Structure 1
Amino acid sequence: MTAVPAPDREHGRGRLLVRVRPASPHGDGRAREHADKLWTAVRAADVYSAADLVTNALRAGLDAETVLLDVIGAVQRKVGVEWAANRMSVADEHAATAVNDRAIATLSAHRPTPARGRVTVACVDKEWHALPARLLAEVLRLRGWQVDYLGAQVPTVHLVGQIHRAGSTVVCLSGSLSTRLPVAHAAITAVQATGVPVMVGGRAFGVDGRHARLLGADAWASDARGAADRLAAGPLPVPRPPHQAVDDLPHLADREYTMVTRWARGLVRRTFQDLEQRLPTLRDYTDEQRGRTAEDLGQIVEFLAAALYVDDADVFTDFLAWTAEVLTARGVPAHAVLPGLDLLDGQLRGFPRARGLIADGREALGPFVRTRPVPAPAP
């Protein structure tokens, strides 16, 4: 296992998982032209030029929603791609996001008087990737909704408290990382228990919304326009009665998710110790490299647990394929992941679902792994 040389890989991971989409039918050559100019400002970390570009785009005849989604949104997606390709550092990515956030704020004066219901928009707890939710909040405001935007990682208890205070008629929850699905499920259930329906969106819920349906959300949208269109089409259905996770997800009865989550720290620690015996070069790592290697192992265990929670191998295999892409872009051989998987497999002998996911993970890494021998696990 070799560390990826970036101090905030999770932040970049969330960016990449918002895959580049085809150009929106709402966009045109003018939108692409302004997006190119905004990209130049973003790379220069020039917040003033970015604000001017937004103003100029509006004066050129682009509507505010197109500027939000086909100019600012397009640039942010490119930021994720450039980070993953190792053409932007984490610091560059953070600076770019700050510039785009300032560009969004420039549109604040271009909002109609609220004429629809009240919507709460928030990220699920532990979800730091707030810009997609911010874009949705701004689109809904442009379309006449009164919006309470709560930002990143909102604890469920505070989300429910805000709903009671504000009297929201619908809650929109955003999640980019699949590891947030268990807390997203808790948030969906808690909000529905208040009688308020929940719409979810973001890569965590699957490109086809499969995890939104599995977790009992009242609606799912693939992007901000789709979410706004769905709300405009009519009220969401009344939530069903409160329920328990094990009732929704009967596969949790095997307790593999519970046990892997409970033992996560121990699994990482034991795997790291075994790696030191299996790969002597790891003993020569700097403290920073050792810390990053431990973080890599922690991420593998987290995504394994998330895949167990929703019983979907794609959650784990997509993460490993993404990791292989990033490692390769940074000159680190993807086969470095395999010893960690082997050692985890050895610790999970009584967990057939987890071991099946690890086997799927090895297969997913196949296209990225050069043909070379990998040491067998210690007996």
Structure 2
Amino acid sequence: MTPRDCADRLWAAVSARDEFEAEEVVLGATEAGMDPETVLLEVIGAVQHRVGQEWAANRLSVAAEHAATAINERVVSALTLSLPRVRPTRAKVAVACVDGEWHALPARLVAEVLRLRGFRVDYLGAQVPTAHLITHLHRTGPDAVALSSSIATRLPTAHATITACQAAGAPVIAGGAAFGPGGRYALLLGAQAWAADARSAADRLATPLPRPTLGHQAIDDLPHLADQEYTMVSRTSALLVKSVYAGLEDRLPRMGEYTEEQRQRTAEDLAHIVDFLATALYIGDGGLFTGFLAWTADILTARSVPAGVLLPALELLTAELRDFPRATALLDQAAVVLSTTNPDPALAGPGPAPRAQHLPGATTT
């Protein structure tokens, strides 16, 4: 049986929330001779990737996505417990998620692949506060830190964590979707290395990472932060969301009919937009913001919500940030992208948004 066949069987079991069958598929694959690393990455990892795709296409609810992820996590545990123990003979690696990052399964897969290859691994799991991570480094002295993040808005925290790890003498290899195509943000933020997946992380760690430069400061990586736009936007994010929400109520009278849950979800979605804008200002890459909005537009479309409902929010946010040239340039660029790819002039000005009860919490899985 091929890895794809096993992945299809595991997907069927996960979709049916049949944990017993899911374990049978995975354990049966290794008993039939499939390499455990292949099972971890090309079966379990492939199914988890499909879970995300199905949620994005609105074919899987948030609750169902969480249930599927939980089954996959338990299947990983069942698989690793069934395997012969590998005596660690290679470097010690601390594997952790950035503080605020709850998507732990990618990091778990990295940790298990490293263990299979003989590394000594401390797997610290999801949402590791930077101060706690540094304390752990001082106590255990790992040869490297593998830092994982899937959510781009955690990049400022990731930057602080990378810098703190290096100050503690530990080089960092970063991984996860948050760090951008080709790991561009990992290198920008000063990480010693980046890996696209668990296999490449293990391959890279087979050779010692270069030791960090002492005395390095985070501002050295991003001199554009001297303009303080990121600081001001991030510090006033709650006020920005409140002001934009009030402006939307004036533009979209139907919002007066919203339930309390719809109001809360709309405010959450506006907060995501502000957070991604702040992160783009931090990184200095407008593509991060426009890419997020294009992705959000696809999510809205899959949920039968006109993507044009984003345009009034961008216009109101531009007015609030009129004294911030980098921020307004990003917002103008995003508005052009949305207008081009999702033209809906009726939604750019006052008036009700047809079928749009609220902006779904498309970034909160």
TM-score bracket for the superposition, by shorter chain length: over 0.9
- The amino acid across from 2:273 in the alignment is I
Q: Which residue of 1 aligns with 2:39?
A: 67
Are positions 1:250 and 2:246 aligned together?
A: no
2:6 aligned to 34, 57, 81, which one? 34
Structure 1 moving runs of 4+ over 6 Å: none
Quote the offset at 1:375 in angstroms: 4.5
Are positions 1:132 and 2:109 aligned together?
A: no
Q: Which residue of 2 aligns with 1:199?
A: 173
- The amino acid across from 1:100 in the alignment is N
Q: Deviations over 1:194-230 (max 9, x none)?
A: 1110100011111211101110001101111110000
For residues 1-379 of structure 1, what are the structure 2 equivalents within 5 Å?
30-109=2-81, 110=83, 111-232=85-206, 234-376=207-349
| In 1: Cα distance, 2:348 partner to 2:290 partner | 22
Q: Deviations over 1:47-97 (max 9, x none)?
A: 111111111100121100000000000000000000010100011101100
- The amino acid across from 2:94 in the alignment is T
State whether residues 308 and 348 of structure 2, in contact with CA within 8 Å, keep that contact through their aligned partners in structure 1.
no
Quote the offset at 1:244 in angstroms: 2.5
Quote the offset at 1:371 in angstroms: 3.6
Quote the offset at 1:281 in angstroms: 1.1
Number of aligned residue pairs: 349
| In 2: Cα distance, 1:94 partner to 1:32 partner | 23
State whether residues 55 and 61 of structure 2, in contact with CA within 8 Å, keep that contact through their aligned partners in structure 1.
yes
- Aligned-pair identity (%): 59
| In 2: Cα distance, 1:108 partner to 1:360 partner | 47
Q: Deviations over 1:130-155 (max 9, x none)?
A: 01000000000000011110111100
- The amino acid across from 2:296 in the alignment is T
Unpaired runs of at least 5, structure 1: 1-28
TM-score computed with the length of structure 1 as normaliser: 0.90
Q: Secondary structure at the match of 2:96?
A: strand
Higher relative contact order (CA 8 A, sep 6+): 1
State whether residues 189 and 242 of structure 1, in contact with CA within 8 Å, keep that contact through their aligned partners in structure 2.
no
Quote the offset at 1:376 in angstroms: 4.3
Unpaired runs of at least 5, structure 2: 351-365
- The amino acid across from 1:123 in the alignment is C
State whether residues 309 and 348 of structure 2, in contact with CA within 8 Å, keep that contact through their aligned partners in structure 1.
no
CA RMSD of aligned residues (A): 1.4
| In 1: Cα distance, 2:291 partner to 2:232 partner | 23
| In 2: Cα distance, 1:146 partner to 1:46 partner | 33
| In 2: Cα distance, 1:367 partner to 1:293 partner | 24
With 361-370 and 324-333 compared, the bigger mean Cα shift is at 361-370
Quote the offset at 1:370 in angstroms: 3.5
TM-score computed with the length of structure 2 as normaliser: 0.93
Quote the offset at 1:368 in angstroms: 4.1
